[in-house]
Structures are given as C-alpha cells and as structure tokens.
Amino acid sequence: MNYTIYDSTTGEISHVISVSNPDRLADIAENQGAIQGHWSSDDYYIHNGVVLMKPATPAAPHVHYDFDYATHTWSINSERTGGEIRQHRNRLLDAVDRVNPVRYLGLTAEQQQQLADYRLALLAVPQQLGYPESLQWPVKPDWL
C-alpha cells in the first residue's frame, strides 16, 4: 500500500513509500505525517490531513514561481526569474555587440543612435519598475 509522506507543519509532500504493514509508519519523523495514496508534490499539498490540489501555476514568460505553503499560493522566485531574464537580455546584447565596425560605419547616424538607444535600454531592463515580475522589453530596431 502506498503512503504519501509530508511535512506536518507546512503540508509539503516529500515522498511516497510503499509498505505492506501500516504499523511501520510509526517510524516516520516527528514533524512528518502520512496519508494513504500516491500524491505528487508537483500538484498536491496536505492541509489539516486533507489532500488538496495546488492552484494552477501562473503563466508568464521568464517568470518562475514557488508554492508558498503558508498562504497556499504561488509566489515569484525573484532570484531564479531575475537570472533567466538577465540571460535573455545578455543574448540580446550579444546580437547588438556583434555588429562589426565595418557594418557600424555603414549605418546612418539615425541607425547608430537607434542601436545605442536599444543597447542602453537592454542594460536598463533590471532597473525597470516592477522588475522582475513585470517588465517591458525594448523594441529592437527593424533593420538589426
């Protein structure tokens, strides 16, 4: 028979065990609980001894969420989200920085200014109000 083991203070599911004799569950740690069945930590948590489904994870590009077991809601993982946003921004900067000097000199003064403005806007992405939860990506010049 399968039992789902969880942290009895938070409700976070840690693992599933299979035991033939439920008396063997007496060996689980003091701060853990067990509930019959096979429940995935990806989709479920335990609250007051009841298995509950986690709400749907919000969908936003480049944003990572962690489940908050205290509030039973998703919260943004700012560190991981910020890291992915910076990686994406750096790939965009690489495309700008690869404009070779010969090509750069062939650009009009307006295009050179657009390139400089776009690069500065990319560098400023982490300073935007609301970063990393909400941000506005700079618009790449059409000719780039």
pLDDT-above-90 percentage for the chain? 66
Query: What's residue 40's pLDDT?
Result: 95
Average pLDDT (116-120) is 95
Domain ranges in the chain are 2-54, 57-144
- Say if residue 58 is preceded by a cis peptide, omega within 30 of 0: no
What phi and psi, each to the nearest 5 degrees, are found at residue 136?
A: -115, 115
Residues 6+ apart with CB under 8 A from 131: 82, 85, 125
Query: What's residue 98's pLDDT?
Result: 86
pLDDT-above-70 percentage for the chain? 100
Average pLDDT (77-94) is 91
Per-residue pLDDT band for 22 (boundaries 50, 70, 90) equals: confident
- Asked if pLDDT for residue 58 goes beyond 90, the answer is no
Tokens (6 digits) for 101: 């000097």
**H-type helices in 1-143, by residue range?**
78-97, 101-105, 109-123
